[in-house]
Structure 1
Amino acid sequence: MLSELDQKSAVADKLVITDSDFEKFRDFFYRKTGIKFENSKRYFVDKRLIDRITATETESFRQYFSFMRFQASGHEQQALINAMTVNETYFYREEYQFECLVENVMNEIAASKRPGDTIRIWSIPSSTGEEPYSIGLYLLEKWPQLDNFEVEIVSSDIDSNVLDKCAQGIYNERSVSGLPARVLKKYFTQIGVGKYQISIDLREAVKFTQVNLAQPTQTRAYRGFDVVFCRNLLIYFDDASRRNAADVFYDALLPNGFVFLGHSESMSRISSLYKVRKFPKAMVYQKPA
């Protein structure tokens, strides 16, 4: 007699995602998230669709697709989004941009504020938290004016599962391998073999929220930021979704606010709303006053 696991595996082996199924799913997912899967991602998409069909005990793509779209709670739609989004990062990734933040951008922002004012930073996507926590670490270690201002870090992601991981702040050796040994020892506690948890102070310093950039009802609340970090997200979008993201960030920023993008991304090819600022270590995009 087959075990329940073996039975599910046997069912999964018989499931097939047709070209028509893939197109239908791709169009739906694009409308919901702004992320468009190319044909080169077929294996990735098919595997995760079959995983969700099996997990929900539906019998075909057609049955699953109908169940997912019309489920009143929306839980399965979120589970599908979680399954399809990639979260791959590590601490101090593209470190030169953090250096630019503390050596140039934060000082320029501080010059326009009074001591005690709040400087707000929005980091999206959160992934598993390395990005916003890297911002916090760099400010603590490298920005001399930190004690003169209140700094608020908000970090958002479309994936509800990773937000729980962010709040726990537990990382493996690969995630922390780029940190100086002194920083690792000062701000992390080793909680097992190859596992490190970031300090409670840093966990409480970052507010994690769920946001879908393609949904105006969710992004409308994000206003009054001085800096937006959005690195290596727009590469998953098409031109229309990138323009939408640029508009969302523009509305979220205060006048003279800054946007950091990933090294392979360029706001100049997306939107004419921003001006390019070339600092010694990085190029950043600024909302005009």
Structure 2
Amino acid sequence: MTTASVSGPVTPGRGASRELSVGDFRRIAALLLSEAGIELTEGKLPLVHSRLSARLRSLRIKSYGDYCDYIESDAGKPERLEMLSVLTTNVTRFFREPHHFEFLRKKRIPELVDVLKRGGQVRIWSAGCASGEEPYSLALTFLQEMPDIARYDFRILASDIDPAILRAAAAGLYTERSLSQVPEEQRRAHFTRAETGADLWSVGPQMRELITFRRLNLIGPWPFTRPFDVIMCRNVVIYFGPETKADIWARFVDQLTPEGWLITGHSERLTDDAARRTELIHTTTYRRRPASAKPKEDTACH
């Protein structure tokens, strides 16, 4: 439920006198590509200048050239994470693209509830979880169908590359407005008024105990010991280059259980090997084909 992008309004920083040259922009873009797999075109130069100018002022660095030297050094490793956080926009909300959750509730959750009741494990992955609305929405959807699910071997992994946004997700504090898509019955059952502010609501313990938050870079190693029954990664891979996209889609399919589901963003389509090994069963919702099954003549656009 996250959009890891570098898009948005360009608002020059107040008092920023430093200029970002094309050469320095390319150094920043190269580092973002190597660290996170996100590609920046030169059309994003004004935006990068705008968003990073405050970082230069905070660090008392005089030029973007000096900033590039710093983030490329060993000493600048922590600042690379700050840069990543500044340059990625996390656009998300509860039950974003609600048809995914409804289809999951009707078609997949009953199968997984049966697995749990027979003593099996169920694992869900929210990849690119941003500030947590997506994994909490998944938890609410499962709790709706199986209120005692915490008694069973069920977990949701919520991962993101940005440690700052992960801390916000784990804190589980949301405004009244951000909960507008949460049904009133679920809000009463699973959220409480936060002590820190009248307009804030806190995620309740039933949801918290189902979710593990972990920093993970999608272009790095995935240290998992078992596959996932559902992977939800929406509006994240779209910002990678074609080869990286194809590789990540294929790795997601590898990480699914037999006939596991992969749910992508509304403008994302599986390609190449991943498309051949899955079938489209709903809007941007793919099911892994059994290893022995041959791909059908496909009229749907992957």
- Aligning the two structures, in what range does the TM-score lie when normalised by the shorter sequence? 0.7 to 0.9
What's 1:287 paired with?
Answer: 288
* Cα-to-partner distance string for 1:8-43 (whole Å, 9 max, x where unaligned): 964xx2100012221221122112111112344333
| Cα drift, residue 277 of structure 1 | 3.3
Asked whether the equivalents of residues 109 and 142 of structure 2 are also in contact (C-alpha less than 8 Å), the reply is: no
Contact 1:234/1:242, CA 8 A, preserved across alignment:
yes
Report the alpha carbon displacement of residue 113 of structure 1 after superposing the two structures with TM.
Answer: 6.9
Measure the CA separation in 1 of the matches of 2:169 and 2:134. Answer: 10
Who is 1:5 aligned against?
A: none
Deviation at 1:259, TM superposition (A): 0.4
Alpha-carbon distance in structure 2 between the residues aligned to 1:104 and 1:119: 15
How many angstroms apart in 2 are the aligned matches of 1:288 and 1:93? 27
Between stretches 193-202 and 258-267, larger displacement belongs to: 193-202
Deviations 1:126-156 (A, max 9, x none): 1100000000001111358958843210000
Query: Helix, strand or coil for the counterpart of 1:101?
Result: helix
Question: In 1, are the aligned partners of 2:128 and 2:236 still within 8 Å (CA)?
Answer: yes
Q: Shift of residue 252 of structure 1?
A: 2.1
Determine the structure 1 residue equivalent to 2:298.
none
- Cα distance change of structure 1 residues 269 and 177 upon mapping to structure 2, 3 Å threshold: farther
Within 5 A, what are the aligned runs for 1:84-123?
84-109=87-112, 115-123=118-126
In structure 2, the partner of 1:19 is 22
Aligned-partner Cα distance in 2 for 1:203–1:39: 41
- State whether residues 253 and 274 of structure 2, in contact with CA within 8 Å, keep that contact through their aligned partners in structure 1: no
1:140 pairs with one of 127, 130, 143: 143
Q: 1:171 aligns to what SS in structure 2? A: strand
- Given residue 188 of structure 2, which amino acid in structure 1 is its aligned partner? K
In terms of fraction of residues, the more helix-rich structure is 1
Q: Deviations over 1:174-231 (max 9, x none)?
A: 2111111121122111223321111022122210000111113xx2436421110001
Change in CA separation of 1:38 and 1:193 when aligned onto 2, cut-off 3 Å:
farther
CA distance in 2, matches of 1:224, 1:231: 19
Matched, 1:204 2:209: yes
CA distance in 2 between counterparts of 1:85 and 1:268 reads: 25
Native 8 Å contact 2:268 2:284 kept in 1: no
How many angstroms apart in 2 are the aligned matches of 1:73 and 1:247?
A: 33
Identity %: 29
- Aligned counterparts of 2:150 and 2:91: Cα–Cα separation in 1: 32
Structure 1: runs of 5+ lacking an equivalent: 1-7
Q: Distance in 1 between matches of 2:19 and 2:133?
A: 36
CA contact (8 A) 1:213 1:248 kept: no
Contact kept? 2:246, 2:272, Cα under 8 Å: no
Q: Report the equivalent of 2:295.
A: none
Amino acid at match of 2:59: T
Residue number among 42, 58, 61 corresponding to 2:61 in the alignment: 58
Q: Given the superposition, is the C-alpha separation of residues 48 and 242 from structure 1 closer, same or farther in structure 2, using an over 3 Å criterion? A: same
In structure 2, give the amino acid aligned to 1:135: L
| Deviations 1:61-117 (CA, angstroms, capped at 9, x unpaired) | 111111112134721111111111111211111111011112112334456676121
1:215 aligns with 2:216: no
1:247 aligned to which of 232, 245, 250 = 250
Contact 1:222 1:252 in 2 (8 A): no
Which stretch shows the higher mean deviation, 25-34 or 145-154?
145-154
Partner residue, 1:3: none
- My pick for the range that moved more, 101-110 or 258-267, is 101-110
Corresponding position of 2:231: 228
Match of 1:194 in 2: 199
For residue 68 of structure 1, what is the aligned residue in structure 2?
A: 71
Query: Which whole-Å CA distance do the structure 2 matches of 1:213 and 1:132 have between them?
Result: 17
Partner residue, 1:4: none
